[in-house]
Amino acid sequence: MRKSRVLEKLRRDEWIIIPQVGQIPSFKIVEMLGMIGFDAVWIDMEHKDFGYDTLAQMTLACRATGIDPVVRIVKDGYTSVIRPLEAGAAGLIIPHCMSPEEAAKIVRWAKFAPEGLRGVDGAGVDGNYIMMDLPQYVKDANRETFLVVQIEDREAVKCVEEIAAVKGIDVLFVGPADLSQSYGVFPNFDHPLILTAIDKVAEAATRHGKWWGIPVGSVDHAREMIGKGARFLAHGAEVIVLTEGFRAIKDRFDALRKDLAKGGES
């Protein structure tokens, strides 16, 4: 089993930046990100319409370039937790974790004994297609995969100390957009209620020896969050990069069209 680049950096108290792919779920885009040198890619299944066959191709591209596939799951019970892991995910992102009981259930499903009771198979790519020693596979899977729970509801903020205390949860990840909905201040992500919630998550994570993260909108925003202790930072998505890139091309040539219409020269 491959060692997780994300965990390697987090364990050294380094921060990571992770872009998202999902709206255009192409293994080629994932491969590009790995070639560029990112440590991980956020593969989003929660809001997107692709299935496990496509996910398997994307995790293969990750293995080919040494990048960690981190999958935000379709939150639909036990199978939705183990299937991405058996497809080769290095980490799982669990949306809308609402309670310590839910967090503990995720650990039970995602980790093998003694940390949990995930069903043992070992025939997937995560077990080297049954070519790994089974006890070693179980040990490596527990050590080299990680769990991220999203704190994006006011109910979760109220019990964030208890969620952070759950053994087996590695990262608390703030979801400012849904959090602003939950507090009734959407889309004001800088509202005092949201900033206070972020601080509560950061403090709970620190007290319980967990990492925490958040989406960042800019380098300056990232600098601020890193200063507060954030180590798992999300920024960028393939759909944004593509629309902004193609819009920029169109804008440049629209300007040329107007210039030529006026008799100017480019």
Which amino acid, 209?
A: G
Contact predicate 236/20, CB 8 Å: yes
Cβ within 8 Å of residue 238, ≥6 positions away:
19, 20, 21, 22, 23, 24, 26, 29
Please provide residue 209's backbone torsions phi and psi, each rounded to the nearest 5 degrees: 70, 30
Q: Is 96 in the active site?
A: no
Contact predicate 16/231, CB 8 Å: yes
Write down the catalytic residue from 47, 96, 191, 208.
47
Contact predicate 183/189, CB 8 Å: no
How far apart (Å, rounded) are the C-alpha atoms in residues 215 and 20?
Answer: 11
How far apart (Å, rounded) are the C-alpha atoms in residues 81 and 71?
Answer: 10
How far apart (Å, rounded) are the C-alpha atoms in residues 130 and 61?
Answer: 21
How far apart (Å, rounded) are the C-alpha atoms in residues 249 and 232?
Answer: 32
How far apart (Å, rounded) are the C-alpha atoms in residues 44 and 20?
Answer: 7
Spatial CA neighbour of 100 closest among 45, 157, 50: 157
What the block records as the tokens of 203 is 């403090």
CB-facing half-sphere around the CA of 37: CA atoms within 13 A: 0
Catalytic positions, please?
Answer: 47
